[in-house]
Amino acid sequence: MTHKNIHQSKIFDSLKLVELTNGRKTKLQVLNYGAAIFSLEFLRDSGEYLNVLVSPEKPEDFLSQAYKEHNQCFGASVGRYAGRISQGGFELNGEHYPLYTKNGVHLHGGELGFTYKFWEIEEVTKLPNPSVKFSYLSKDGEEGYPGNLQVLVIYTLTEEDEVLIEYTAVTDKDTVINLTNHAYFNLNGGGDIKDHLMKLNAEEVLEVSEELMPTGDLRNIRNSGMDFTSLRPIGEATLDDVYVLGDTAGRGENIFLKGSKSGISLEIESNQPAVVVFIPETLPDAWEYQTSIAKSKPSVCLESQNFPDAPHHPQFPSSVLRPGETYRNSIKWTFRK
């Protein structure tokens, strides 16, 4: 066996999958690589399971070079900063911190952000409300960011078919942070999401440049093709936009999605000021998928987070985390079927 093959074997040996099952036999599978949600399956009346997440077929697919190259972040915990940062870095306390850029954009934490790290499995609990806790230490200077950042994420599958995602982080030096989960939803368990009904408590989006970089202004979208303030089918919408959530943020009226074929609905609550709605036109064919997806519009991402590029826009909610403070992103997915 060559040195390269030995190294690859050790990497595969490090890959772990944790399965949580609640009293309703709902199953949530999570990988320690990227602290990524691998699948979420509901037991139907027919006795068969329906997976509402779109993800590569095998856990090993996440370790492939193609997975890194396509940078789709399936179900992954994205950081140190989810979304885009402009100008090749940022200023903090009068000091400039250069960041990795590709095509002039720093995206999802850099060349090898949290999506491509092995996280430590700290604790797994069983019924009722099974959970798994992961940790990751992002060292000072990793991807250009200042401060040793200690990150935790706890995934809990409740007995009511809720998925609770709790990100927390502390630092020993002033830094910036924006974490989210990048799950791809298809509540029908296959096909496309054009007939999914969606409602967003958001009348504004961030105005962006051609590179999808925020300009600093907000754009009203009422009565436009991007307006989902009333429940309606997604249809032909292709989105990669930051929706600014309204005053009901955190009270369960933020984000609603329903699969018209399965009847499964999803309601999302979070303590974050925005949700990035990403509807890819297509997904890579570099691997097989767990479900039978359509070639066009196979899924939708609903990423609860702070505004992208906040370090360059003082009018945006602050992304700065200081020693003695705790960063927190609390997300609740409530499913009904």
Q: What is the average per-residue pLDDT within 266-270?
A: 96
| 6-18 per-position pLDDT tens digit | 345 556 789 999 9
Q: Could you confirm whether 313 is annotated as catalytic?
A: no
pLDDT above 70 for 1: no
The yes-or-no answer on residue 303 being catalytic is yes
Residue ranges of domains in the chain, CATH in brackets: 3-336 (2.70.98.10)
Q: 41 CB contacts (<8 Å, ≥6 apart)?
A: 26, 27, 49, 50, 51, 52
pLDDT of residue 10: 59
pLDDT of residue 254: 80
Average pLDDT over residues 302-321: 98
Which listed residue (106, 108, 182, 196) is catalytic? Answer: 182
Give, rounded to a whole angstrom, the gap between the first and last alpha carbons of the chain.
50
For residue 5, what pLDDT band results from cuts at 50, 70 and 90?
very low
pLDDT for residue 12: 72
Q: How far apart are CA 43 and CA 25, in angstroms?
A: 6
Q: Is the pLDDT of residue 296 over 90?
A: yes
Q: Tell me the per-residue pLDDT of 100-149, one tens digit each, with 9 for 90 and over.
A: 999 889 999 999 999 999 999 999 999 999 999 999 999 999 999 999 99
- For the cut 60, the answer to whether the pLDDT of residue 293 exceeds it is yes
Question: What is the C-alpha separation between 243 and 255, in angstroms, rounded?
Answer: 10
| pLDDT tens-digit map of 90-112 | 999 999 999 999 988 999 999 99
> Has residue 247 got a pLDDT over 80?
no
pLDDT above 90: residue 245: yes
Report whether 82 contacts 278 (CB < 8 A): no
pLDDT tens, position by position, 78-90: 999 999 999 999 9
Is residue 335 within 8 A of residue 183, CB to CB? The reply is no
Average pLDDT over residues 302-323: 98
* Residue 237: both structure tokens together: 């919408």
pLDDT for 176-191, tens place per residue? 999 999 999 999 999 9
In tens, the pLDDT along 206-226 reads 999 988 899 999 999 999 999
